[in-house]
Amino acid sequence: DIEKRFSNNIINGLPGVFYMFVKQADEYRLVRWNKNFENVLGYSPEEIYCKSPFDFIAPEDHEYGKKKIEDIFIKGHVESELRIKTKEGKVIPFLFASRAYQQGNRTYFLGQGINLSKQIEFQNNVKTLFMAFPDILIVSDYQGNILYANDSLKQQTGYTQEYLQKNKGKVALHPPEDREMLKNKITELLSSNAVHTDIIENRFIDKKGQTHWYSGVIVKTTFSGQPALLTISRNITRSKYSEQALVESENRMSTVFDSAPVIMMLINEKREILQINKKGIQGLNLTKKDYRLLPFGEAYKCINAFENPAGCGAGVRCGDCLVRRTIQDTFTNGTEHVKVEATLNSKDTKYYILLSSALLKNDVTKEVLLTVDDVTEQRLMQEELKQSVQKAEESDRLKSAFLQNMSHEIRTPLNGILGFSGLLDSEELSPEERSYYIDVINQSSNQLLSIVDDILSISRLETGQIEVLSEQVNVNAMMQELFAVYNTKASERNIVISHGKELDDKQSIVFSDSEKLRQVLDNLLSNALKFTHEGHVKFGYHCKGNTLQFYIEDTGIGIKESDHSRIFERFQQVDFDSTRVYGGTGLGLTIAKGNTELLGGKIWLDSLPGKGSTFYFTLPYKPVYPELTPALADDGSTKDSEQPAILIAEDEEINYLFIAESLKEIDYKLLHAFNGLEAVELCKQNKSICLVLMDIKMPKLDGYSAFEEIKLIRPELPVIAQTAYAMVSDREKALKAGFKDYLSKPIKKAELLNVISKYLEIG
C-alpha cells in the first residue's frame, strides 16, 4: 500500500524532513518519517509513531495547520510555514510541502519540510522535487487496470489518472506491438521469482497522437494491500535519436539540481569539482571547461588556496579552514552536515556561506554532494543595519549632549543680560558701575546674537534656504580686514598672527559671495585662536589653476586623525568636554563646511593632537579681471609668468610686511612663503621666481635645509640669507653654504635694495 511505497533508503536519502500521516475518522496519525524527522524533533520512533502531527506543531499554529490540511483536499497540494516544537521545547520554523492521497477510506498526507531558520531559499526547489517526479509512475493491477499515476503522466502525455480510469479500454497508451511486448514482459515477470524486469524501451502515444520513446522497468509491489505492478518510465526520446550520450547525461543531471536557487556541486576526496549546477557556474564565474577537477578553494578564489604552489589545502591557514574540515569529516566519517556557517576570503571579496554536505558512495568511489548557500548579502545587510542602529544611538547621544551644551551657551549670556539689567534698577549705582553693567549687557547680547546666528545658519543650510550671490569680492582686502580684527585679539593672548596673499590686489578681485566667504574664514580663525594657547596662527591663500586654496594654520591643541572626517558633521563634536571648557556652540565647522560647498569648494584639515591644525578650503577662482590672471597650469603649478617674482621666505608677518613695503616700488611680483617647505614648493612650481630672500630660522624646514633642496632643483637661482644671526661667523657660514649674499636683521631699506640690485635690475 501507499505506506510501503517508499523504502527507508529513499526517504532517508531525501533532504530535510519527510513524513506521512493518515487521517482516521477525525484524527491524524503519523505512520512514516525519515531519520531527519527524528533528529530534528529529538524523539525516538516509539514516541512518534501514531502520534498526531499536531503533537509536534507549536500550539499557536494549530488552526493554521488544520486550515492547510483542508486546503489539500481542494488544491491537491499546499505549501505551509509552520513552527515545530522539539522535545527540548525549541521552536523551529519550517516550510512544508504536503500532498494528500486517497486510498479507500483513508486519506494519506505526504510531506517534506526544510528548516527555514537557516535556508528559506530551498522551499521552491524542495516543493518542485517533492511534488512532481520527472519520470512517469503508474501503479496497476495484474490485469492492467490503472490504480495510481503521478502528475508526470499528465504533463508528458496529456492524460490524467482519472481520465484513463474512466475511459478504460478506450485509450491506447502504447502502439500495438509495444502493448504485446509489455504483456509478454509482465507474464514473464509474474511467472518468475524476480522482483522487476530488465530495462524496457517502449513508446507512449500522447493525447495529441504524438509518439515518444520511454525507458523503464516494471516492479512487483503492493497497493492497498493487493499485489500490483509499478511501472517507472523515463522519456528517452531525445537520447533515442541522439548519439551524444554524455551531453544527454549532463542534461538529465541538470534537471535534478540545475534549478536549485543555491550552489550545488559534486566533489571527490581531493575536494575537486566533478559536477556543478548552473547557479554555481554563474555565481563563481566559471565555464564548463575550467570547473572540471577544479579544487573547491580555487573555484572561490580563496586567498589561502594560492599561497602555496601545492594549491587548495596546502596553505598555512588551510588547517583551520572550516570548509575543509566539514568536507573531510563527511568523507571520513560519513557525517552529514547541514548549514555550517563559514567564511571564505576571496581575492575579490569575502563570502559568507552556509555549507551542507552529504556522502554519496558505491562499491568503487565516494563522492560528496555539497550545497553552498551564499548569505553574503544578508550578512552585509545585517552589518549595515547594526551600524545604522549604532549610528542612530550615537546621533541621539550627540543630539542630547548638543542640546545640553546649547542650553548652557544660551543661558550664560541670558544670565548676564537679565542679571545686570536687574542691577541697573538700583538708584545707588555710580556712573562707573552703571557703565560697566551696560557693557556686560552689550557683550552678553552680542554673545547671544552670535549663538542665534549660528542656529539660524545651520537651519537655513539644512533646509536649503540660502541663496548664493555672485558679487565682486576683493580677497586681499578681506584678508587684511580679518588680520586687523584678529591681530588685536591675538595680541591680548600673546599669540602671533600673520597672513599671506599670493595675488596682487586687482588679481584678487573675484566673483563670489562675500558674506559666506567671510563667515567661513571667520569661523576657522575664531576656532584657531580659541584652541591655541601659545605659538602662532597663520592664514592666507594660494592660487592653483582655477582654484583659490585657503589655509588657516595654528599651533593649538590639535585633533586626532580618527576624528578628522566627523568634526564637520552636524551634532558631531570631537569632545563635548572641550566645548564646555572653550565655550561656543560647536557649530562653526558645520557652518563652514556648508558655506564652502555652497560656494563650489571643499574643506579638509591636517592635524595631530598637540601639534596644531591646518584647515584648508577651496574656492573657484573667477577673476573679475581675467586679463590680469597669472598663467597657471591645469595641475595647479605656475607656468613661466610674464612678470618676474621675488620669493620672501619669512615666518614673521611683521618682517615680511617691512620687506614688501620696501620693495613695493620695484617692478617685481612678491611671493610669500611662511616656512622652508613652502619655499621649496614655490620654487618648484613657479619658474618666474628670479631671487629668494631666505630667513634662516623657520618652522618645518630651516633656511639652510630649504636652500639645499632649492639648489638641487634651481641651481642657478640666487638665494640671499636674511637672519637675526648677526655674528661675523654667521655671515661666513651662510656664504660658505652657498648663499649668494647675506643680510642681518634689523634690515635697512637701502641695504636691502643695494643687495638685490647686484642680481636684479630694479631701476
Q: What mean pLDDT is reported for the chain?
A: 82
Sign, CA torsion 562/564/568/573 = positive
pLDDT at 763 over 70: no
For 147-168, b/e burial (b = at least 16 CB within 10 A) is: bbbbbbbbebbebebebbeeee
Higher per-residue pLDDT: 500 or 224: 500
Mean pLDDT over residues 162-187, rounded? 90
**pLDDT, tens digit, 9 for 90 and up, residues 274-307:** 888 888 888 888 876 667 788 888 888 888 777 7
Rounded to the nearest 10 degrees, what angle do helices 431-463 and 588-598 cross at?
Answer: 50
Task: Please report which confidence band the pLDDT of residue 590 belongs to, taking 50, 70 and 90 as the band edges.
Answer: confident
Predicted confidence at residue 744, as pLDDT, reads: 87
Cell digits for 30? Answer: 503519523
**pLDDT, tens digit, 9 for 90 and up, residues 320-355:** 888 888 988 998 898 999 998 888 888 778 888 899
- In order of 632, 633, 634, 678, 683, the CA distances from 639 in angstroms are 5, 6, 10, 17, 11
Predicted confidence at residue 343, as pLDDT, reads: 85
**pLDDT, tens digit, 9 for 90 and up, residues 59-91:** 999 999 989 888 888 887 888 889 999 999 999
Percent of the chain with pLDDT over 70: 85
pLDDT at 23 over 60: yes
Predicted confidence at residue 685, as pLDDT, reads: 86
Distance (Å, rounded) from C-alpha 30 to C-alpha 26?
A: 14
Predicted confidence at residue 554, as pLDDT, reads: 93
Predicted confidence at residue 7, as pLDDT, reads: 62
**pLDDT, tens digit, 9 for 90 and up, residues 624-683:** 988 777 654 344 444 444 578 999 998 877 788 788 888 888 888 889 888 899 899 999
Cell digits for 253? Answer: 543531471
Beta bridge partners of 539: 499, 552
- The beta strands (E) that lie in 682-763 are given as 689-695, 719-723, 741-744
223: Cα within 13 Å, side-chain hemisphere: 19
Distance (Å, rounded) from C-alpha 467 to C-alpha 462?
A: 13
| Cβ proximity of 302 and 291 under 8 Å | no
**pLDDT, tens digit, 9 for 90 and up, residues 388-429:** 887 777 667 666 656 655 665 676 677 778 777 877 877 788
- Report the candidate in 227, 148, 223, 233 with the shortest Cα–Cα distance to residue 195: 227
pLDDT at 521 over 90: yes
Q: Which residue has the cell 589561502?
A: 304
Distance (Å, rounded) from C-alpha 211 to C-alpha 311?
A: 52
pLDDT at 131 over 50: no
Mean pLDDT over residues 220-228, rounded? 85
Higher per-residue pLDDT: 439 or 51: 51
Q: What is the pTM of this model?
A: 0.36
Strand arrangement of the beta sheet that strand 27-33 belongs to: 27-33, 17-24, 106-115, 91-103, 77-85
- CB-based contacts of 140, cutoff 8 Å, min separation 6: 146, 147, 228, 229, 231
343: Cα within 13 Å, side-chain hemisphere: 9
| Cβ proximity of 202 and 174 under 8 Å | yes
- The beta strands (E) that lie in 650-729 are given as 669-673, 689-695, 719-723
pLDDT at 567 over 90: no
pLDDT at 484 over 70: yes
- CB-based contacts of 468, cutoff 8 Å, min separation 6: 513, 516, 598, 599
Beta bridge partners of 232: 137, 217
Q: 3-state SS of the chain: helix, strand, coil percent to 5?
A: 40, 25, 30
Mean pLDDT over residues 202-220, rounded? 92
Q: Which residue has the cell 531559499?
A: 121
Cα Rg of the chain, angstroms? 44
Residue 500: alpha-carbon gap to chain centroid: 43
Task: Please report which confidence band the pLDDT of residue 250 belongs to, taking 50, 70 and 90 as the band edges.
Answer: low
- Report the candidate in 289, 348, 274, 357 with the shortest Cα–Cα distance to residue 323: 357
Task: Please report which confidence band the pLDDT of residue 254 belongs to, taking 50, 70 and 90 as the band edges.
Answer: low
Q: Which residue has the cell 510501503?
A: 4
Percent of the chain with pLDDT over 90: 29
Predicted confidence at residue 6, as pLDDT, reads: 57
Predicted confidence at residue 578, as pLDDT, reads: 44
- Report the candidate in 526, 521, 685, 676 with the shortest Cα–Cα distance to residue 603: 521
Q: Which residue has the cell 572641550?
A: 578
Strand arrangement of the beta sheet that strand 689-695 belongs to: 669-673, 645-649, 689-695, 719-723, 741-744
